[in-house]
Amino acid sequence: MNTTTTSSTGRTTPSGDYPVLNHPPARPPLIGDHAERTRTFTWDEARGWLAAEPGERLNIAYQAVQRQVDAGRGSAVAVRFLDRTAPRTELTYAELADAAAGFAAVLTGLGVGPGDRVCTLLPRSPELFVAALGTLWNGSVYCPLFPAFGPGPVRQRLDLGHVRLLVTDRASYERKVAEARDDLPHLSAVVVLEDDAPPGTVSWRDAQTRAEGLPRPPVAETGPEDPALLHFTSGTTGRPKGAVHVHEAVVAHHATARMVLDLHEDDVYWCTADPGWVTGTSYGIIGPLTCGVTVVTDAADFDARRWYSVLQDEQVTVFYTAPTALRMLMRSGADLARAHDLSRLRHVVSVGEPLNPEAVMWGTEAFGRPIHDTWWQTETGAIMISNVPGMPVRPGSMGRPVPGVEVAVLARGDDGRALVRDGEVQRCGPDEVGELALRPGWPSMFRAYLDQPERYAAAFSGGWYLSGDLARVDADGYVWFVGRADDVIKSAGHLIGPFEVESTLMEHPSVSEVGVIGKPDPLAGEIVKAFVTLAPGVEPSEALRRELIVFGRHRLGSVAPREIAFDPHLPHTRSGKVMRRLLKARELGLPEGDTSTVEETP
């Protein structure tokens, strides 16, 4: 077979030009044989892999930390924190459990109770782990925010989430939140890490001191269906969507951390994702801690030399990262990889964007083993498709459904989305491209889009959850990613909603209209590019272009457009919406397709 598929990013994904990689796993994988495990696996079985809690209770913090303490592993290192500017620190499972309980007491002291939402806007730090687990310990709902967001995305998420408490640092508070405090009536308390807390906030130290007299609270009596996590994610239109996950999600976090990441208790595991995105929470905090490993976390940004040193010096055995980072490592050359002793590294795993086959092949040189892809989404909460250890890797394919997950590719209608007639879907045959869908019922499936029941309902049809991704499945059940069915942008593994970027640029007085697309980029997969129509009488200039870039950067932070082009005649549908698809086709020099709904420009 030698099929080629053109993805929505215009890239061609070869599927038959690379050898199947059949490297024997360096250690017998916990999953055993994928096919055999798929036949016998049930989510009830996986529930039994967790520690029993009294009655019908289930609490993520209990399963992540207290469980290890109860099992006599309290002195094992839970998290090792690296920071370019601070000494390396460690917390054992017992220390982390104590600190989480202490933070739960702080929350109670500040009037934050079960079900209330708590956000962090923090670098990867001990306080972030303590706040995340302490929030769950308290039965409150944890909502991580990405620290590189600008004030716009931060304020909008605090507002939409009706967030009660924010934990952040002084600079972030002053630059991103303080001014908008009056517009955030639900935000009753802000804790800042520094001792000199600005007005309207309380310092981490003072908050702890106030809670000192209080008894160490027991883990909250949460049930499997109680909300635990709120992750904001982006769609094509409208405001960010708050995907709500419940405590039962931990069953899937744990089962996949075992079966896909192959985490044994003695592993040293590094997940490079920031907890501000779903990967950094599901697999940077929860999944690995439920497996009892030592989690390595680094506050510093990407730097090839530093990353290889971390892998070597911390003796990392399992490494979970993203294709953009792998491509940057590739770019830094094989010599740099070879100059480090990576012999402890047993399993390298990737997520978040298409993993190009070249990167998989490069892994065999740099790490001595192929890179294993995983596919999932904020909505799925945990890995759904993967090249699990022991399964032959077909470079360019994401692998096969993990045990307990049923996948289908559904035929598409004219709008590019799955076609459902009278509640019936039509499934594609082998190698036919359609919308990737999952059969509901896995434990970490999102239970709601916060306050948007219609949007939630629209994500399901004919008995399937529709992912919004296009894919095909080959005759052997391997899933191949083709592209997105919508206009959402993936840049360096981060999901960006074009609407959020467009509406922010529209706030600039010189701008009359904006269309935003993901422009293919060899390193980041896509970068954000904005096409801007200027207000009447405003002349385009290089100075204005630069001003708009800075304006975007200042308000949006890391999700701001990297490129801006002026376009006096943006294409519109008859209903007046900017046609991003056409902008993208033009940018790529592709055929513009059916333009019958495009409005004539005068």
CB-count burial class (<10 Å; 0-12, 13-18, 19+) for 206 = middle
Phi, psi of 319 (to 5 degrees): -130, 120
Nearest approach in angstroms of CB 323 to ligand 6R9 is 8
CA distance linking residue 70 with residue 72, whole number of Å = 5
Q: Is 526 in the site for ligand 6R9 (CB under 6 A)?
A: no
Q: Which is nearer to ligand 6R9, 82 or 371 (CB)?
A: 371
CA distance linking residue 184 with residue 260, whole number of Å = 41
CA distance linking residue 531 with residue 511, whole number of Å = 10
Number of other residues whose CB lies within 10 A of the CB of residue 276 = 26
- For residue 147 the two structure tokens come to 């620290």
- The sign of the CA dihedral 131, 132, 138, 141 is positive
Q: Which is nearer to ligand 6R9, 150 or 354 (CB)?
A: 354
Task: Classify 44 as helix, strand or coil.
Answer: helix
Please list every residue from 398 through 427 that binds ligand 6R9, using CB under 6 A: 398
CA distance linking residue 294 with residue 91, whole number of Å = 10
CA distance linking residue 88 with residue 81, whole number of Å = 6
Among 134, 235, 352, 403, binds ligand 6R9 (CB under 6 A): 352
CB of 64 within 8 A of CB of 290?
A: yes
Span from 54-62, 257-265, 350-358, 359-367 in contact with ligand 6R9 (CB under 6 A): 350-358
Strand 385-386 relative to strand 241-246: parallel, antiparallel, unpaired?
A: unpaired
Q: Is 351 in the site for ligand 6R9 (CB under 6 A)?
A: yes
Among 103, 307, 376, 449, binds ligand 6R9 (CB under 6 A): 376
Span from 176-184, 263-271, 274-282, 332-340 in contact with ligand 6R9 (CB under 6 A): 274-282
Please list every residue from 244 through 273 that binds ligand 6R9, using CB under 6 A: none
Please list every residue from 451 through 510 that binds ligand 6R9, using CB under 6 A: 467-469, 481, 484, 490, 495
Amino acid identity of residue 435, one-letter, is E
Nearest approach in angstroms of CB 488 to ligand 6R9 is 7
Q: Which is nearer to ligand 6R9, 284 or 552 (CB)?
A: 284
List residues bridging with 363 in a β-sheet: none
Span from 102-110, 338-346, 375-383, 516-524 in contact with ligand 6R9 (CB under 6 A): 375-383
Nearest approach in angstroms of CB 451 to ligand 6R9 is 19
- Who's near 87: CB < 8 A, 6+ residues apart? none
Nearest approach in angstroms of CB 228 to ligand 6R9 is 17
- Applying CB under 6 A, what is the total number of residues that bind ligand 6R9? 23
Nearest approach in angstroms of CB 106 to ligand 6R9 is 30
Nearest approach in angstroms of CB 380 to ligand 6R9 is 8
CB of 168 within 8 A of CB of 177?
A: yes
Closest CA to 286 of 122, 446, 96: 96
List residues bridging with 159 in a β-sheet: none
- For residue 105 the two structure tokens come to 């007491």
Nearest approach in angstroms of CB 399 to ligand 6R9 is 9
Q: Is 377 in the site for ligand 6R9 (CB under 6 A)?
A: yes
Largest separation between any pair of C-alpha atoms in the chain:
75
Q: Is 444 in the site for ligand 6R9 (CB under 6 A)?
A: no
DSSP conformation class of 173: I
Stated as kind and residue range, the H or E segment containing 210 is helix 204-212
Q: Which is nearer to ligand 6R9, 242 or 352 (CB)?
A: 352
Rg, the chain, Cα only: 24
Task: Classify 78 as helix, strand or coil.
Answer: strand
Span from 25-33, 149-157, 210-218, 372-380 in contact with ligand 6R9 (CB under 6 A): 372-380
Q: Which is nearer to ligand 6R9, 374 or 533 (CB)?
A: 374
- For residue 357 the two structure tokens come to 């086959």
Q: Which is nearer to ligand 6R9, 37 or 490 (CB)?
A: 490
CA distance linking residue 314 with residue 306, whole number of Å = 12
Q: Which is nearer to ligand 6R9, 495 or 514 (CB)?
A: 495
- The sign of the CA dihedral 383, 71, 271, 205 is positive
Span from 34-42, 139-147, 151-159, 367-375 in contact with ligand 6R9 (CB under 6 A): 367-375
CB of 387 within 8 A of CB of 397?
A: yes
CA distance linking residue 136 with residue 364, whole number of Å = 39
Nearest approach in angstroms of CB 201 to ligand 6R9 is 30
Span from 6-14, 82-90, 143-151, 374-382 in contact with ligand 6R9 (CB under 6 A): 374-382
Nearest approach in angstroms of CB 144 to ligand 6R9 is 12
Nearest approach in angstroms of CB 478 to ligand 6R9 is 13
CA distance linking residue 515 with residue 139, whole number of Å = 41
- For residue 148 the two structure tokens come to 């590189």
Nearest approach in angstroms of CB 308 to ligand 6R9 is 23
Q: Which is nearer to ligand 6R9, 15 or 377 (CB)?
A: 377
Q: Which is nearer to ligand 6R9, 458 or 535 (CB)?
A: 458
Q: Which is nearer to ligand 6R9, 352 or 390 (CB)?
A: 352
Among 15, 92, 279, 491, binds ligand 6R9 (CB under 6 A): 279
Q: Is 278 in the site for ligand 6R9 (CB under 6 A)?
A: yes
Q: Is 435 in the site for ligand 6R9 (CB under 6 A)?
A: no
Among 354, 370, 497, 518, binds ligand 6R9 (CB under 6 A): 354
Amino acid identity of residue 367, one-letter, is F
Phi, psi of 435 (to 5 degrees): -85, 130
Q: Which is nearer to ligand 6R9, 105 or 501 (CB)?
A: 501
Query: What are the E-state strand segments in 30-121?
Result: 77-83, 86-92, 117-121
Among 98, 314, 373, 526, binds ligand 6R9 (CB under 6 A): 373
Q: Which is nearer to ligand 6R9, 217 or 518 (CB)?
A: 518
Distances (CA, A) of 104 to 218, 223, 521: 9, 18, 44
> By beta-carbon distance, which residue lies closest to ligand 6R9?
378
Q: Is 233 in the site for ligand 6R9 (CB under 6 A)?
A: yes
End-to-end CA distance of the chain: 48
Q: Which is nearer to ligand 6R9, 351 or 530 (CB)?
A: 351
Question: Contact positions toward ligand 6R9, by CB under 6 A?
Answer: 233, 277-279, 351-355, 373-378, 398, 467-469, 481, 484, 490, 495
